[in-house]
Amino acid sequence: MDLQSRLEALIAPSLDAMGYELVRVQLQGKQRLTLQVMADRKDGVMMTVEDCADISRSISALLDVEDPISAAYTLEVSSPGIDRPLTRAKDFEIWAGFEAKMEASQPIDGRKRFRGKLLGLDEAGNVRLGVETGEVAIPMADVRGAKLVLTDELIAATMRDQTED
């Protein structure tokens, strides 16, 4: 199991028990490592600074005991934000209809980078994206990175969701 998978397996159950969902774990940097943990509340309410602090305390204790990272690092806990990364299959369904940027690990129709309207998943589990030349389907396993694009439509939808809660 690689370090990324090990960290996810270590952190996700703790977050789940606290009422959060793990969005992404990412170890960044060469000389100064940063462990970035992004989480969402399960109840759909916007994350607060207190939520991040609670998660940080819990994860810090867990990582101190398990010690999966041999070098010194800084722990950074945050919400995914409005222009959030899309990391789970359900993200591509929930955020269908909004503009997204995606990068594939393998070329599709001669290119790896795409920007367009997210159309969800097809029956085979491929991510569908409406681009200027039509529609492209990218296998989930080949999605290297994906995130929502900050648009007026996305901001309006996010604000509307928060006022409904």
Residues in the chain: 165
Distance CA 1, CA 106 (A): 23
* Cα 42 to the center of its chain, rounded Å: 14
pLDDT per residue over 12-69, tens digit each?
999 999 999 999 999 999 889 999 999 999 998 889 999 999 999 999 999 999 999 9
**Domains with residue ranges and CATH for the chain:** 3-78 (3.30.300.70), 89-164 (2.30.30.100)
Closest among 150, 144, 140, 139 to 100, alpha carbons compared:
150
Rounded to the nearest integer, the mean pLDDT of the chain is: 92
pLDDT at 163 over 80: no
pLDDT at 160 over 80: no
- pLDDT in the model for residue 105: 95
Q: Which of 2-6, 14-18, 143-147 has the lowest mean pLDDT?
A: 2-6
